[in-house]
Structure 1
Amino acid sequence: MNTTLRTGYFGGSFNPIHEGHIRLADRACQLGLVDEVWFVVSPKNPLKPTADPDDAQARLAAVRDALAPYPHLKATDFEIDKPLPSYTADNLNLAARLYPNRTFVLIIGGDNLDDFTRWKNYEQLLRDYDILVYPRPGASNTIPQGWHRVTLLDGPLMSISSTEIRQKNTPKRP
């Protein structure tokens, strides 16, 4: 009897979390590609050094609140207390060692696929993990040749982004 859970590892700032994040994760579960998804709130994206995300604990609380109606979607603080910079490859490898009853599947948006070769140890991620990519408007949404463990999810393109939400909620200066 196989008791291994296929667990989506969906890292991000989630500043703020929005319907697009939730629909992406829920879609991966609906398609049977994963059993559940961990929303891994990151303290800071190492590829966005100028970004100043709101307090990580506050973002984690917001993610927990947003995911409350979805028992198969979980918020986790797995990366929050890690030393900076915090890299997906290091954290995903640690999660795989700490939770041997889980098979982790990396979940990213199509915009991250375009920059994936800039990620630390991206070759190791491509070799050791299945990767699910949700298409994003404006992204190439094209899987490079030879990336055999990468799957483009079938789903509607959503034009919502955390950046747009933050910009709309930022008061205009006179």
Structure 2
Amino acid sequence: MSKIGLYFGTFNPIHVGHLIIANHMVENSDLDEIWMVVTPHNPFKKKSSLLENNHRFELVYRATENYEKIKPSDIEFKLPQPNYTVFTLAHISDLYPGKEFCLIMGEDNLKSLHKWKNYETILEHHHIYVYPRIAEGSVDHQFKSHSKIHVVNAPIVQISSTMIRNGIKDKKNIKPLLSKEVWEYIDEMNFYKK
């Protein structure tokens, strides 16, 4: 049974930091593939700043085209809004019964896991792979030594999609922070310039 890591994000836009983390996770753990799940609407984020779903998926598709073990996924586009991870995991597990799905998240998300809808159900049925992030606060004691939570010693990447959007708006050169294919699509479509 292949083991798939689900890396959720709005990817607004996807940048080299996302790719560094995804590639590191798939190459340095027992995961066989990473699926970059483009989230149509995160319950904790405002929707107004998001590019349309199809454009963000296209950016992820272009960014991952040359990575054999990293795939784009629009699975959440077909689910009711707002999306909750617990429902997506149940849906994707039903769709692909021959695969084991795991969550990939930053340490900052692990710190707020106890606030997630039905987080106990997620932990009961799925493993979680955590990459380090510089964040305030500490991880809840119930998650520190949980048998289904695995911390992967990945590089700390301090690049954010907000930084990129602001850089484009301010006419800064942010090309090194994006794959060539992603930059070309953003530039061609005049995204984030206003």
TM-score (normalizing by structure 2): 0.80
Structure 2: which amino acid aligns with 1:154?
Answer: N
Residue 107 of structure 2 is aligned with which of 106, 110, 116? 110
Residue correspondence of structure 1 range 1-174 to structure 2 within 5 A: 4-49=1-46, 52-140=49-137, 142=139, 144-146=141-143, 147-171=146-170
Shift of 1:120: 1.0
**What is the rounded CA distance, in whole Å, between the counterparts of 1:110 and 1:65 in structure 2?**
27
| Residue-by-residue CA offset, 1:3-43 (whole Å, 9 max, x unaligned) | x1100111110111111111111112112320001111010
RMSD: 1.8
Report which stretch shifted further, 58-67 or 23-32.
23-32
Gap regions ≥5 residues in structure 2: 172-194
1:67/1:75 contact within 8 Å kept? yes
Q: Secondary structure at the match of 1:80?
A: helix
Q: CA deviation at 1:57?
A: 0.6
State the 1:52 CA deviation.
3.0
C-alpha contact 1:6 1:102 (8 A) present in aligned 2? yes
Q: How far apart, in 1, do the equivalents of 2:46 and 2:116 lie?
A: 14
Rounded to whole Å, the distance in 2 between the matches of 1:141 and 1:153 is: 17
Q: Percent identity?
A: 36
Contact map agreement 1:143 1:150 (CA 8 A) in 2: no
The aligned amino acid for 1:85 is P
Call closer, same or farther: CA 1:21–1:143 in 2, change over 3 Å: farther
Q: Distance in 1 between matches of 2:109 and 2:83?
A: 16
Conserved? CA contact 2:22–2:70, under 8 Å: yes
TM-score (ref. length: structure 1): 0.89
Specify every segment of 5 or more residues in structure 1 that has no aligned partner in the other structure, as ranges: none
Q: Quick one: which amino acid aligns to residue 157 of structure 2? A: M
The amino acid across from 1:65 in the alignment is R
